[in-house]
């Protein structure tokens, strides 16, 4: 019996989850990611060397949390929200092939067909960073199942209130009906809750469920999307300070981070430059040469996923 046994179907069906780690200054930093449930009850995530901050955070403070709350592509109806709190480990071992994470990669190639094209010979020089991965294993300690947050037909209204147009993050939050709040509890452990930010001239009012005992401090609001085949992705994080007011919890924004850009034609080139620099920096700081990707092993898993798709 494991912590996750009460919600295995939902966990396995979700295409992504929101995953939060603690930054150097304690700020909870949440990003969407794919996750695989292992037979032993642990959860496996991976991150490339180009986006290694999650791994570095875990090595410094293993307290993490996951929220399964965007059911796009899952087939779940209704789709319960599942919160998982626990501790993570991430060895400083660069994985150049799928060994130790075969089921994870098999799942990814199956659910994200366009990622198979990264293995083609013309794409390899550009996408090598994508396959140099660090493995993050989460040992769940807490599980909470929440009811679905009722869907809205209209996007958020982050810029619809007079005086909030210039509020940091208004442009990003206004594209989404909901966002995921990343905050901390009284012990400093990270918490996650999907909410509907309500703009005010001072910041964003957010409702949190009764089981999410947030405390004042640094926090963030994450918005992200993907289609049913894990394509057309976008994500942004609005960071700031969470405060208790007479009207409820208020996030006062101070910064916005869009790691994949905002959709401009030049974003793809900028991201590729970033991935190369970040990968090189990770290796240089450890005095390591650039490892060789085991392309053949990845191609074998991708081929298996393609054959499964054709047969279905």
Instruction: Tell me the three-class secondary structure of 162-184, residue by residue.
Output: CCCCCCCCHHHHCCCCCEEEEEE
Which helix (H) or strand (E) element contains residue 140?
Answer: strand 133-146
d(CA 110, CA 129) in angstroms, rounded, equals 20
CATH of the domain at 145: 2.30.110.10
- Look at the chain and count its residues: 312
For residue 300, tell me if it sits in a domain: no
- Residue 2 placed within a domain: no
pLDDT in tens, the chain (312 residues): 678 877 778 999 999 999 999 999 999 999 999 999 999 999 999 999 999 999 999 999 999 999 999 999 999 988 999 999 999 999 999 999 999 999 999 999 999 999 999 999 999 999 999 999 999 999 999 999 999 876 544 555 444 554 556 899 999 999 999 999 999 999 999 999 999 999 999 999 999 999 999 999 999 999 999 999 999 999 999 999 999 999 999 999 999 999 988 878 789 889 999 999 999 999 999 999 999 999 999 999 999 999 988 887
Residue 181, classified by CB atoms within 10 Å of its CB into exposed (0-12), middle (13-18) or buried (19+), is buried
Residue 81 lies in a domain: yes
Report the domain count for the chain: 1
Among the residues of the chain, which ranges form H helices? Answer: 8-13, 53-60, 102-111, 124-131, 170-173, 267-285, 295-311
Tell me the C-alpha distance between 29 and 49, whole Å.
Answer: 17
Residue 213 placed within a domain: yes
Concatenated DSSP letters for 198-215?
EEETTEEEE---TT----
Q: Domain range spanning residue 119?
A: 9-287
The answer to whether residue 209 sits within a structural domain is yes
In a domain? residue 258: yes
- 292 in a domain, yes or no? no
Distance in angstroms (rounded) separating the CA atoms of residues 217 and 188: 10
What are the phi and psi torsion angles at 228 (to 5°)?
-70, -15
Structural domain contains residue 169: yes
Q: What angle do CA 292, 54, 275 make, to 5 degrees?
A: 45
């Amino acid at each position: 019996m494991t912590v996750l046994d009460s919600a295995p179907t939902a966990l396995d069906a979700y295409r992504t989850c929101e995953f939060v780690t603690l930054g150097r200054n304690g700020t909870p930093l949440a990003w969407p990611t794919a996750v695989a449930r292992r037979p032993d009850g642990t959860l496996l995530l991976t991150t490339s060397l180009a986006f290694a901050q999650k791994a570095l955070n875990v090595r410094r403070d293993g307290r993490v949390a996951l929220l399964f709350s965007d059911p796009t592509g899952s087939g779940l109806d209704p789709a319960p929200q599942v919160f998982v709190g626990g501790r993570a480990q991430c060895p400083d071992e660069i994985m150049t092939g799928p060994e130790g994470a075969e089921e994870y990669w098999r799942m990814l190639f199956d659910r994200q067909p366009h990622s198979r094209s990264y293995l083609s010979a013309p794409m390899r020089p550009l996408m090598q960073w994508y396959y140099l991965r660090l493995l993050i294993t989460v040992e769940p300690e807490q599980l909470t199942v929440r009811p679905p947050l009722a869907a809205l037909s209209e996007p958020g209204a982050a810029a619809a209130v007079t005086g909030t147009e210039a509020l940091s993050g208004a442009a990003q939050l206004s594209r989404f009906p909901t966002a995921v709040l990343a905050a901390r509890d009284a012990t400093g452990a990270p918490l996650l809750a999907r909410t509907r930010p309500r703009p005010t001239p001072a910041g964003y009012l957010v409702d949190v469920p009764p089981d999410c005992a947030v405390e004042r401090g640094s926090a963030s609001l994450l918005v992200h999307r993907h289609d049913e085949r894990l394509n057309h992705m976008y994500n942004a994080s609005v960071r700031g300070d969470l405060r208790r007011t007479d009207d409820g919890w208020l996030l006062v924004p101070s910064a916005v981070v869009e790691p994949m850009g905002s959709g401009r034609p030049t974003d793809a080139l900028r991201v590729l430059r970033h991935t190369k620099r970040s990968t090189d920096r990770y290796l240089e700081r450890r005095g390591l040469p650039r490892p060789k990707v085991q392309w053949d092993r990845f191609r074998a898993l991708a081929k298996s996923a393609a054959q499964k798709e054709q047969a279905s």
